[in-house]
Amino acid sequence: MKFLIAFLLWCVLFLLSAPLALLALVAFPIVWLLLLPFRLVGIAVGAVFSLLKAILYLPARILGHRPRPA
């Protein structure tokens, strides 16, 4: 669904300004490649926080504490 909305918005942009739409089409992969390291850093930071949470909750899990169901 997101792809369809993005495609329709791009078509509207193409009707309004073809050079700008073509520039957006060319610039999108370049911007995606530039932002990729930040996404990888975000995944790594999330993994570190999950590891810290597991380490901090380990004593309670060893003693048999179970979280209440939501």
Does 43 reside within a domain?
Answer: yes
* Residue 68 located in a structural domain: no
The answer to whether position 70 is within a domain reads no
Write down the pTM of the prediction: 0.58
Residue 67: inside a domain: no
**Boundaries of domain holding 32:** 2-62
Residues of the chain with pLDDT under 70: none
Q: What pLDDT does 29 receive?
A: 93
The 10 Å Cβ neighbour count of residue 67 is: 8
CA within 13 Å, CB half, 4: 1
pLDDT at position 68 is 76
Asked, for residue 9, whether it belongs to a domain, the answer is: yes
Q: Is residue 44 part of a domain?
A: yes
The number of helix segments (H) and strand segments (E) in the chain equals 2, 0
Q: Which distant-in-sequence residues (6+ apart) come within 8 Å of 14 by Cβ?
A: 21, 22
Our count of domains for the chain comes to: 1
In a domain, 47, yes or no: yes
What pLDDT score was predicted for residue 1? Answer: 93
